[in-house]
Amino acid sequence: MSQVRQAKRTLYKRFFEDPFVGLWIALFCGITWLLPLRAAQWFGRRIGTLVYCFAWKRNKIALKNMSVGIPEVPVEERRKLVKKMWQHFGMLFAEVAHGDQVLNESKFVNLNWLREARASGKGGFICSAHLGNWEMDVPKMVGNNFQMNPVYRKANNPWLDKLLFDRRRGVKIPKGTLGARLMLETLNKGDFIAILCDQKLREGEEIPFFGKPAMTATAMASLAIKKDVPIFMVKGIRGKDNKYTFTVQERVKIPTGLPVKDAVRETMVYINNLYWDWIRTNPEQYLWVHRRFDKSFYED
């Protein structure tokens, strides 16, 4: 597995665009920290609406993804969903400063499965998607020093990386060669790895996503089979009252009696199909703005 290539930053981006965006993010974080939770959510929602009005390139990508993800939804309704998506994520980032209160107001389903897996001492994977809320410190609710070590890709903008992502607890596992080694070390210690597998990867294998071939990371399934550790799928969905329900689903059943390569593929097919079910149920809470498929899909 090769090191992940970071996007090249021009002098303009490094010395003007990146700090400019970083300062606005810092201002946003400062305001939401000063506001009570409900006011911060209201403010974040309004900022999300503002972003929607100016992010026309990202909106176009979102609509292309929706054309295969939720083709049964009329085009005009998809446009409304894109706006609701930005509003949701505006609130999500506004809630970061109020993490403890958000957690205290949230509902948790089937946490006992994670506790039992932690007690076994074997470690494993907690797999989610860029849906609803994947940033909350759920381990606090599991207890017993439970820790999710996140696999992540550094943001191209170092200001953004510092302000929003550097606060994550646990061993931060980068994608690439170093990340593969750290994942193995983490599992060997009996710890858990938090991973999101719903975005495009240059490496990996072509596996259907929304029924369309898409490069998909398979390292999680490979290591789960090799180390005989569980994969738990977890989602955190915002309710109408702006409170979350975090649901742990049963351990992913990895096919038996197949060659490892086929078992890995079947496992990731199952996970991608599960993502699709999650997303179709709550499309306004999914981050549609990434180029999930080959770049030619977005050219027209």
Question: Angle 227-191-262 (CA atoms, 0-180°, nearest 5)?
Answer: 30
User: Would you say residue 167 has pLDDT above 80?
Assistant: no
User: Would you say residue 5 has pLDDT above 50?
Assistant: no
Confidence of residue 143 (pLDDT cuts 50, 70, 90): low
Q: What is the mean pLDDT of residues 96-125?
A: 90
User: Would you say residue 67 has pLDDT above 70?
Assistant: yes
Instruction: Specify if 128 maps to a domain.
Output: yes
Q: What is the mean pLDDT of residues 270-294?
A: 97
Instruction: Specify if 179 maps to a domain.
Output: yes
Domain count, the chain: 1
User: Would you say residue 1 has pLDDT above 60?
Assistant: no
Instruction: Specify if 291 maps to a domain.
Output: yes
Question: Angle 268-273-277 (CA atoms, 0-180°, nearest 5)?
Answer: 145
Instruction: Specify if 134 maps to a domain.
Output: yes
Cα separation of 106 and 279, whole Å? 20
Instruction: Determine what percent of the chain is predicted with pLDDT higher than 70.
Output: 90
Instruction: Specify if 258 maps to a domain.
Output: yes
Instruction: Specify if 80 maps to a domain.
Output: yes
User: Would you say residue 190 has pLDDT above 50?
Assistant: yes
User: Would you say residue 163 has pLDDT above 70?
Assistant: no
Mean pLDDT, the chain, rounded, equals: 89
User: In this predicted model, what pLDDT tens digit does every residue of 24-49 receive, in sequence order?
Assistant: 888 998 999 999 999 999 999 999 99
Range of the domain at 262: 11-298
Indicate the helix (H) or strand (E) that contains 108.
strand 107-109
Instruction: Specify if 118 maps to a domain.
Output: yes
User: Would you say residue 55 has pLDDT above 80?
Assistant: yes
| 203 against 115, higher pLDDT | 115
- Please report the pLDDT score of residue 215 as a whole number: 93
- Please report the pLDDT score of residue 2 as a whole number: 38
**Burial classification of residue 277, based on how many CB atoms lie within 10 Å of its CB (0-12 exposed, 13-18 middle, 19 or more buried):** exposed
- Return the closest-CA partner of residue 47 out of 33, 29, 65: 29
- Return the closest-CA partner of residue 271 out of 90, 129, 107, 85: 129
| 204 against 5, higher pLDDT | 204
Instruction: Determine what percent of the chain is predicted with pLDDT higher than 90.
Output: 64
Confidence of residue 7 (pLDDT cuts 50, 70, 90): low
User: In this predicted model, what pLDDT tens digit does every residue of 19-28 receive, in sequence order?
Assistant: 888 888 889 9
Are the C-beta atoms of residues 241 and 279 closer than 8 Å to each other? no
- Please report the pLDDT score of residue 14 as a whole number: 81
- Please report the pLDDT score of residue 4 as a whole number: 43
